[in-house]
Structure 1
Amino acid sequence: MAHILLVEDDLTYSRIVKTFLEKNSFEVTTTTKVKEAQTILSTGKFELIIADFRLPDGTGMELLQWAKSNFPHLQVILITHYSDIRIAIKAMKLGAFEYITKPINPDELLATVKESLAQKIELKSGISPKEPTKTESRKSETPYVIGESQEAQKLEKHIQLVAPTDLSVLVLGETGTGKELISKRIHEFSKRKDGPFVAIDCGALPKELAGSELFGHVKGAFTGALDNKTGHFESANGGTIFLDEVGNLSYEVQIQLLRAIQERKIRKIGGNKEIEVNVRIIAATNEMLTSHSSEGGFREDLYHRLNEFTLQAIPLRQRKADLEYFVGEFIQESNERLNKSIKSLSPEVWDIFYGYDWPGNLRELRNIVKRAVLLSSEDRIEKDALPLELYDNSYLTASPSQAISTSPATTVPPLVNPSAGTDYKSQWKEQEKELIQKVLLDTRFNKSKTARILNMDRKTLYSKIEKYGLE
């Protein structure tokens, strides 16, 4: 019987969840505070923590980081309100197995708990060839999708251009835009593809141990260094090392990293022997490192060493033309994981998806699709399977020009100047023509996608294409 620690300060909510899990054959211990949870975890054997994000003496994020540092293979599920979506996504980057939103759906909770425990069993039994550590990103289950939008095609061209070289690459982009997938694709099309690809989340590295994790240490180098340690740079020799959220590295570690790039040599903490390394570096950040360096937080010389070539990961709101591809991938993935057979989204759900700006990008989309697949009883996803907040303030019932303005990939022409004395009707037609033409180009004349993005039915779209001579 798996033992779960539930950390929730709403006692009524805690009692309901505890009773539900115990009815499904789990042993559950409850507490309300971060410090109490740490004490309990230190004295008992647990397989899983379920923690609310907001707690009286701290946050679920703090508990997650502490747990992963002390019990690396302990699974953590974070409970959030939907407004905490960016925090929840950050928690997953720090090693949380999953996040679920309040109000909790019992089926979703049970499926997530079982899935997390099943993954832990696989890791312990050695089924996985390499157990993830607290400093390595979990392997993404989502394949890289090129997409058909102009922005996505441009990104792919740049990837193919830089991949065969040995240039250091800086991947910029918001959280959840697939920076690690881009980096992995560069590696796969490089001359180093047969070498290791080592992914490190610098934001999850404890400051005092970051140098040791990256470059290794010798026995006795510091308190707790009971043996020699091989760092990630040495492990990545002959391949590629991916440094996610590189802006989080301390100034001292930045100096060590700069030396490793310049001299292609590293020195373990406490050691006096130099080790040659042949590693390509791909770094990623969601920060503006240029302003960070001007403020003294990030070394300017290191920035220029990392930034031999820049790629910009595209936010999902700027590649709405590719939304259908991603949704299809996530439905298929969720069907396999949850033993379901969902085929599509209802037209109403498509409208909601196209109208939403996706602040959490691909990670948010993936989790919402998985949740909706779980909650759907028919063969397609309906509106009632979505979180209420997804469409409460974002669902568009506007005109085509308003609908398309939600995607920054499309430039809306300026509004008519009422003092100009011009023909408003003619200007509106010209604006409409430009909008339709732009979206047709973005979707490569996929009329079904174009109609969805413009929030009009296909018959109307065909009529306007003919009217404006856009074929």
Structure 2
Amino acid sequence: MHKILIIDDELSVCQMLEKFLKKKGYHAKSTTSGKQGIKMLKMEFFDLVLCDYRLDDIDGRTLYPELRNANPEMVVIFITGYTNLKVAIELIKEGVYQYLEKPLRPDELLETLESALKLKKRNKSYPNRHETSSVPNQDFIIGKSSSSRELVKTVDLVGPTDYSVVIEGETGTGKESLAQLLHEKSARKDGPFIPIDCGSLSKEIAASELFGHEKGAYTGAYSDKTGAFELAKGGTVFLDEIGNLSMDIQVMLLRALQEKVVRKLGSLKPRKIDVRIIAATNENLRDKVRNGSFREDLYYRINEFNITVPPLRERRGDMSLLINHFITKTAEELGKPVPSLSDEVLEVFNRYSWPGNIRELKNVIRRTCLLSIGSETITSKVLPRHLMEENRGGGETKNFYVGAAKDTHKEVLLAENHTDLRKTAHMAEANHILKVLKEVGNNKTKAAKLLNIDRKTLYQKLKLYQLET
């Protein structure tokens, strides 16, 4: 039975958490004093500490080193009603597992505890730095948000199989990096990983890139070429933006996957292939099947398993980890000390909607680090104009909508005749949330599941769009 120490200066919180955790099978003890918590740790072993960041007798910044000194293998999770992204980043750098906001939600707390304790068991001792899973030379970082944890479970499940996978997600979410992560977890990891950008290929070039060609097969074919399917023998072919392939190439691809052979352009000789297919798209392939622009038989052939990568706006819990990763990596590339972010910059980052997702975050950080060479702190002066403009406008859609606060079944309307595309998209999202809530009788858990987001994200959106009842 795992032992958990609760430290919170509110006695009612301690009693509530202690009672709750005991019901869930944990051995829990509590104290309202940080100094008393240190004494208890020196006298008794605990697997995990759940600690309020702002205690009456000591704050988390001072308390954390004492906690680690008392038991270096122990997992530490801070809870607070005063979220500060800068503090979260610094604590994660130092090894804190997670930083949870009050009021605590039981399902989120249990998920975090289970994930932390599994990690501790797997590593035997808790790492000094926040653990991440990333593909070498790639930017897909597995964080600790609920959506990220679900993604980890999915990758661990399907990665070792030979299933064909379709990865869906917005531009910039890291679909290729995730595909490479799937490859690294498979039995084909020692084989080639060959990415093909289907969106940039014409019909003739696509056939040549995928299947190869013989010399003289078409004008400009001055020598033989081996295609990706042969080059990737024993490995993985990644077809990015597969929805852009022409119908003729789709037919050739389907035949190759069914027969497990390819024929080079200009040749009738079949060549056996042994590859795993991972495809990616930022479009809805089901819609393309319905409108006749993508073959239904090919869709079911490649879609043995489907993964949706959440956008960055649904991974807010991973922001501190991502920011720290990209700043550290960029500083290493520039050969400069790692700078810190000013409070204003952190606030802008936290409020911005990040339509370009992780790719946009990475590019913004690389730019700001370059412009801040010689300075220890990155300030808002070096931020791109559009980030500051959105932040000055509220950074969110709040105050752009009316008529939703008391009736969750009422459609959200624009308060003004806005033509801003992002605000219009937000309005559509708000209306979709209302529709789903109505379908499930305002059950937030069911609604979050249907919307493919975690409950915390749903509550944030309800607050953002003023839809709370």
Deviation at 1:442?
A: 6.1
The CA deviation string for residues 24-70 of structure 1, in whole angstroms up to 9 with x for no partner, is: xxxxxxxxxxxxxxxxxxxxxxxxxxxxxxxxxxxxxxxxxxxxxxx
Give distance in 1, aligned partners of 2:340 and 2:269: 59
8 Å Cα contact 2:203-2:249 kept in structure 1: no
Q: 1:398 to 1:327 in 2, by over 3 A?
A: closer
Partner of 2:386: 389
Deviation at 1:416?
A: 3.6
Secondary structure of the residue aligned to 2:294 is coil
Aligned pair partner of 1:249 in 245, 248, 255: 245
Partner of 2:375: 378
Aligned pair partner of 1:203 in 191, 195, 199: 199
Aligned pair partner of 1:277 in 273, 277, 285: 273
Q: 1:327 to 1:142 in 2, by over 3 A?
A: farther
Secondary structure of the residue aligned to 1:247 is helix
Partner of 1:155: 151
Q: 1:440 to 1:271 in 2, by over 3 A?
A: closer
Deviation at 1:201?
A: 0.8
Secondary structure of the residue aligned to 1:224 is coil
Give distance in 2, aligned partners of 1:159 and 1:321: 19
Q: What amino acid does structure 1 have at the position aligned with 2:196?
A: I
Partner of 2:288: 292
Deviation at 1:259?
A: 1.0
Secondary structure of the residue aligned to 2:172 is coil
1:355 is aligned to 2:351: yes
8 Å Cα contact 2:169-2:282 kept in structure 1: yes
Q: What amino acid does structure 2 have at the position aligned with 1:231?
A: G
The CA deviation string for residues 239-263 of structure 1, in whole angstroms up to 9 with x for no partner, is: 0010000011111110111011111
1:188 is aligned to 2:178: no
Secondary structure of the residue aligned to 2:238 is strand
Deviation at 1:342?
A: 3.0
Deviation at 1:264?
A: 0.9
The CA deviation string for residues 76-132 of structure 1, in whole angstroms up to 9 with x for no partner, is: xxxxxxxxxxxxxxxxxxxxxxxxxxxxxxxxxxxxxxxxxxxxxxxxxxxxxxxxx
Partner of 1:326: 322
Partner of 2:224: 228
1:258-269 equivalent positions in 2, closer than 5 A: 258-269=254-265
Q: 1:191 to 1:395 in 2, by over 3 A?
A: farther
Partner of 1:239: 235
Q: 1:185 to 1:440 in 2, by over 3 A?
A: closer
Give distance in 1, aligned partners of 2:393 and 2:333: 32
The CA deviation string for residues 179-208 of structure 1, in whole angstroms up to 9 with x for no partner, is: 001100000000101111111111122332
Q: 1:440 to 1:209 in 2, by over 3 A?
A: closer
Secondary structure of the residue aligned to 1:340 is coil
Give distance in 2, aligned partners of 1:189 and 1:206: 32
Give distance in 2, aligned partners of 1:254 and 1:154: 32
Q: What amino acid does structure 2 have at the position aligned with 1:415?
A: A
Give distance in 1, aligned partners of 2:255 and 2:177: 27
1:65-76 equivalent positions in 2, closer than 5 A: none
1:415 is aligned to 2:395: no
Give distance in 2, aligned partners of 1:252 and 1:397: 48
Deviation at 1:396?
A: 7.0
| Alignment root-mean-square deviation, CA | 3.2
TM-score, normalized by length of structure 1? Answer: 0.56
Deviation at 1:291?
A: 1.2
1:412-451 equivalent positions in 2, closer than 5 A: 415-416=405-406
Secondary structure of the residue aligned to 1:394 is helix
Q: 1:329 to 1:244 in 2, by over 3 A?
A: same
Q: 1:440 to 1:150 in 2, by over 3 A?
A: closer
Report % sequence identity: 47
Deviation at 1:344?
A: 2.0
Give distance in 2, aligned partners of 1:208 and 1:262: 21
Displaced runs of 4 or more, over 4 A = 395-399, 438-443
Deviation at 1:177?
A: 0.3
Secondary structure of the residue aligned to 2:262 is strand
Q: What amino acid does structure 1 have at the position aligned with 2:217?
A: A
Give distance in 1, aligned partners of 2:165 and 2:454: 32
The CA deviation string for residues 269-288 of structure 1, in whole angstroms up to 9 with x for no partner, is: 11111011010000000011
Secondary structure of the residue aligned to 1:226 is coil
Q: What amino acid does structure 2 have at the position aligned with 1:392?
A: E
Q: 1:417 to 1:273 in 2, by over 3 A?
A: closer
The count of corresponding residues between Structure 1 and Structure 2 is: 283
Deviation at 1:143?
A: 3.9
1:308 is aligned to 2:304: yes
Q: 1:165 to 1:440 in 2, by over 3 A?
A: closer
Q: What amino acid does structure 2 have at the position aligned with 1:297?
A: S
Deviation at 1:217?
A: 0.6
Deviation at 1:140?
A: 8.2
Deviation at 1:289?
A: 1.1
Deviation at 1:339?
A: 2.4
8 Å Cα contact 1:149-1:442 kept in structure 2: no
TM-score, normalized by length of structure 2? Answer: 0.56
Deviation at 1:343?
A: 3.0
Secondary structure of the residue aligned to 2:226 is coil
Partner of 2:215: 219
Deviation at 1:306?
A: 1.1
The CA deviation string for residues 137-178 of structure 1, in whole angstroms up to 9 with x for no partner, is: xx9843431101000100110011001111100000011000
Give distance in 1, aligned partners of 2:305 and 2:268: 33
Partner of 2:411: none
Deviation at 1:415?
A: 2.7
1:1-40 equivalent positions in 2, closer than 5 A: none
Give distance in 2, aligned partners of 1:395 and 1:354: 13
Give distance in 1, aligned partners of 2:318 and 2:289: 35
8 Å Cα contact 1:340-1:374 kept in structure 2: no
Secondary structure of the residue aligned to 1:393 is helix
Q: 1:398 to 1:326 in 2, by over 3 A?
A: closer
Q: What amino acid does structure 2 have at the position aligned with 1:309?
A: F
| Structure 2 unpaired stretches of 5+ | 1-134, 409-443, 458-462, 465-469
8 Å Cα contact 1:240-1:282 kept in structure 2: yes
The CA deviation string for residues 275-328 of structure 1, in whole angstroms up to 9 with x for no partner, is: 110100000000111111222211111011111100001111110110111111
| Structure 1 unpaired stretches of 5+ | 1-138, 406-413, 419-433, 444-453, 456-471
Partner of 2:141: 145
